[in-house]
């Protein structure tokens, strides 16, 4: 634990235990989403499926990066990940993102992706709201993740015909916002 770092957050008025619990739940959402997206991605086949594979893969890798970036902050603040992977799965801040019954139904696949991204956008907005102007490091991290989650939501929502978002596929490295936390 980073004792003074935690003390600074406590002194800002934030309930650090609640914040840490939220960070753990969101770390779970990232790692479980990484897992579920792996299954979704391998099933993105055929003419329509292949067209989605690249964004699905970028979102999958970036979600794993989010997990990696959240873990040090959890421990700095005196938290810990649950010892049991089962428990970790079940406390996720977002519901599972299961493979649709018919994986060739591309619209059903896209809805699973977009719902998962929307849940994440709400979750990090909440963490940003709680930490803004108080816990600068958690805010910086949550904002970086939020930036990437919003791009993921945009990619999938465009395919659902919800209108343009102005975004394009990743060019070059993954995690343009979060990479500074991974070095």
Partner 1 sequence: MIKLTIEALSQYNGDHNTPLYIAYKGKIYDVSSSFLWKGGKHQVLHKAGQDLTEELEHAPHGADLLKRVPCIGQLVE
126 binds ligand HEM (CB under 6 A): yes
Whole-angstrom Cα distance, residue 58 to residue 77?
Answer: 29
Q: Select from 13-21, 103-111, 114-122, 154-162 the region that touches ligand HEM (CB under 6 A).
A: 114-122
The yes or no reply on residue 123 touching ligand HEM (CB under 6 A) is yes
What are the angstrom distances between the C-alpha of 97 and each of 11, 111, 129, 138? 38, 10, 26, 26
Q: For ligand HEM, which residue of 17, 82, 122, 180 counts as binding (CB under 6 A)? A: 122
Residues 30, 102: Cα–Cα separation, whole Å: 24
Per partner kind, with CB cut-offs from 5 to 8 A, the member of partner 1, ligand HEM, none near residue 54 is none
Q: Which is nearer to ligand HEM, 43 or 125 (CB)?
A: 125
* Cα–Cα nearest to 170, from 40, 62, 24, 43: 62
Q: Which stretches of the chain bind partner 1, using CB under 8 A?
A: 18, 21-22, 25, 90-96, 121-123, 125-126, 129
Beta carbon nearer to ligand HEM, 22 or 52: 22
Q: Where are the beta strands (DSSP E) in the chain?
A: none
Q: Which stretch binds ligand HEM (CB under 6 A): 1-9, 73-81, 113-121, 163-171?
A: 113-121
Residues in the chain: 183
Which of 97, 112, 119, 146 lies at the binding interface for ligand HEM (CB under 6 A)? 119
Up-side HSE of residue 52: CA atoms within 13 Å toward CB? 33
For residues 138 and 136, give the distance between their C-alpha atoms in angstroms, rounded to a whole number. Answer: 6
Binding footprint of ligand HEM on the chain (CB under 6 A): 115, 118-119, 122-123, 126
């Amino acid at each position: 634990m980073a004792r003074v770092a935690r003390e600074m957050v406590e002194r800002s008025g934030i309930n650090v235990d609640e914040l840490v619990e939220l960070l753990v739940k969101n770390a779970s959402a990232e790692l479980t989403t990484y897992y579920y997206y792996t299954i979704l991605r391998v099933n993105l086949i055929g003419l329509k499926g292949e067209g989605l594979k690249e964004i699905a893969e970028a979102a999958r890798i970036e979600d794993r990066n989010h997990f990696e970036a959240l873990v040090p902050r959890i421990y700095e603040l005196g938290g810990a990940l649950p010892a049991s992977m089962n428990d970790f799965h079940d406390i996720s801040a977002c519901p599972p993102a299961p493979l649709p019954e018919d994986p060739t139904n591309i619209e059903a696949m896209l809805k699973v992706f977009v719902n998962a991204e929307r849940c994440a956008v709400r979750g990090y907005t909440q963490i940003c709201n709680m930490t803004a102007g108080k816990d600068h490091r958690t805010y910086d991290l949550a904002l970086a993740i939020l930036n990437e989650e919003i791009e993921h939501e945009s990619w999938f929502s465009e395919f659902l015909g919800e209108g343009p978002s102005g975004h394009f596929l990743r060019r070059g490295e993954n995690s343009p916002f979060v990479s500074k936390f991974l070095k």
